[in-house]
Amino acid sequence: MTHNILLPFSFCRLMLFSVVIISFLLEYYVTGKIRYRFHILNLIAYIVKSLESIMYNFSNKYIGGILFSILSLFTTAFLSAIICVILAKISIWLLVIFFIFILSSFLSSGGLNHAAFTVYHDLKNNCILCARTNLKALAGRDSKNMNESEISRAVVESVAENTGDGIGSLLFYTAAGFAAGRLFVSFDFFEKYCSALSALLSYLFYYFISPAYRIAGAGLPHANLHAINFNGNNGNSCGIIFTSMLIFGIIGAVIYKTSNLMDSLVGYKNKKYIKFGKFSARLDDVLNYIPFRITALFMFFSLIILNFFYKNKKSYKNEQHNNLIKNNSSNMHNDNKSDNNNYYYNNLNNAVKSWKKFRKMHPSPNAGQLESIMAGALKVRLGGTNYYGGIESNRPVIGFKYYNSANAEDIIKSLNIMRITSAILIISLSFIGLMLF
């Protein structure tokens, strides 16, 4: 069946921008609050666990762990590519829907917001037992004997870290997929990089990208991809680029999420996984290295935005208060001192100082980047003693000695930082897609 869909350049760019924004909004307001048995992450976890049960039988656990990681990444990436190809052959709109489904399922801003708010409301309603129970959705530590401050600290730490691996890193590798998809149709990989020994791989690449040409109405491509016109005036070329970027964007997101899931399943320093899970844990650290630092930069930007917003809000309140005093002398005894405590985002300098001093004190080479910023922005101490499976784990304290212990209100403050950071990240991904087109 031949598909003659000519996609104008401006329409393709608008669609690429829209699918990213729609995915974010869908996850934040709808899918982030829903948990169901056949969630895509549960399906990936099933594949990973199945491969673990096979590869764990290797006598050399470290080699088995390496093969397990490689095979897991290849399997999930290959299956996602096959699904993309099948959907693209049927209709480009099915591929668009699948992209939105994947990205909205992988993002965690809405789910993080919902879970943290649940714990916050439990604490405000003085239901400490409920808060301890609901904390399990955010943190894997033992919560049985935790008090309000410890629960609040756990939530703030989880919000900070998940802003990185649940949002920043995922969008980074989706953008990397966009770039790979754009480059794939920009360079002649077949002639330059595919020798006779890699004929099979060449065929697979050719098979994956060919639906884009059918959908765009250009027919099957010849080996020389330089013959394609990318000046933006050819509707066929735009359809090819758009389809390719969506397919590779999905593959990039799936590869990262699979690596992140492997780390959460086998990346433990216990007797069973100390060797088998070592490669998966290191791979996750490597993949998160650059994205976490980019997210940290955007988190600083979010503090600037919040500081600007609350300063203007404070100025407006002061102006309204002064007008009230002028109109009603009986209110002269009122003051605005209580409002000063509500504007807690003017701690950018503290966030920078905390980041410089404490970013390398976290056991993770990446999580400390964000937790140190959050600690300085909120002036709270993070880290310290936690319990996992009844075993005490002592971590360095992140935050200066004069910082306060976390409380329930700090949960709301951390969520505001997460929201603005997420918005900056998602807008950045959208514009990266436009620039690559």
Q: Which of 282, 297, 312 is where one domain is finished?
A: 297
Looking at residue 290, its pLDDT comes to 96
Question: Are 265 and 307 members of one domain?
Answer: no
Flag whether 424 is in a domain.
no
Looking at residue 370, its pLDDT comes to 95
Flag whether 425 is in a domain.
no
Residues in the chain: 437
- Name residue 396's amino acid: P
Q: Taking the chain (437 residues) in consecutive chunks of 10 residues, what is each chunk's mean pLDDT? A: 51 85 93 82 93 91 94 95 89 92 94 93 92 88 87 94 94 94 68 44 54 48 35 55 90 96 88 90 95 95 86 55 48 40 62 93 90 94 84 87 91 94 93 80
Question: Are 77 and 106 members of one domain?
Answer: yes
Three-state secondary structure call for residue 425? helix
Looking at residue 395, its pLDDT comes to 87
Q: Which of 297, 328, 354 is where one domain is finished?
A: 297
CA 138 to CA 156: how far, in whole Å?
A: 10
Question: Are 277 and 330 members of one domain?
Answer: no
Q: Could you say which DSSP state residue 331 is in?
A: G
The DSSP string of 167-227 is: IIHHHHHHHHHHHHHHHHTTS-HHHHH--GGGHHHHHHHHHHHHHHHHHHT--S--S-GGG
b/e code 132-154 from CB counts within 10 Å (16+ = b):
bebbeebbebbbeebebbbbbbb
Tokens for 53, please give them.
């049960």
- Find all residues with CB under 8 Å of 170, minimum gap 6, and list them: 103, 106, 107, 108, 253, 256, 257
Looking at residue 268, its pLDDT comes to 82
Tokens for 227, please give them.
């013959």
Question: Are 315 and 238 members of one domain?
Answer: no
**Backbone angles phi and psi of 140, in degrees to 5:** -90, 5
Task: With CA atoms as reference, report the closest residue to 65 among 204, 239, 268, 298.
Answer: 268
Task: With CA atoms as reference, report the closest residue to 256 among 62, 61, 95, 72.
Answer: 72
Flag whether 437 is in a domain.
no
Task: With CA atoms as reference, report the closest residue to 190 among 178, 173, 207, 177.
Answer: 207
Flag whether 316 is in a domain.
yes
Question: Are 266 and 317 members of one domain?
Answer: no
Question: Are 64 and 188 members of one domain?
Answer: yes
Flag whether 433 is in a domain.
no
Question: Are 304 and 281 members of one domain?
Answer: no
Question: Are 107 and 185 members of one domain?
Answer: yes
For tokens 């935050």, name the residue: 399
The DSSP string of 124-169 is: HTT-HHHHHHHGGGT--S--TT--HHHHHHHHHHHHHHHHIIIIIH
Flag whether 239 is in a domain.
yes
- What residue numbers bound the domain in which 52 lies? 9-297
Number of domains in the chain: 2
Question: Are 92 and 214 members of one domain?
Answer: yes
Q: How far from 196 is each of 72, 225, 282, 322, 371, CA to CA, in Å?
A: 27, 19, 34, 81, 50
Looking at residue 142, its pLDDT comes to 82
Question: Are 312 and 336 members of one domain?
Answer: yes
Flag whether 436 is in a domain.
no
Looking at residue 130, its pLDDT comes to 92
Flag whether 29 is in a domain.
yes
Residue 62 Cα to chain centre, angstroms: 28
For tokens 């009986």, name the residue: 330
Task: With CA atoms as reference, report the closest residue to 248 among 183, 201, 303, 187.
Answer: 183
Task: Say if residues 162 and 108 touch (Cβ distance below 8 Å).
Answer: yes
Tokens for 408, please give them.
């329930």
Q: Which of 273, 297, 321 is where one domain is finished?
A: 297
Looking at residue 318, its pLDDT comes to 52
Question: Are 172 and 283 members of one domain?
Answer: yes
The DSSP string of 16-63 is: HHHHHHHHHHHHHHTGGG---TT-HHHHHHHHHHHHHHHHTT-SSHHH
Question: Are 171 and 224 members of one domain?
Answer: yes
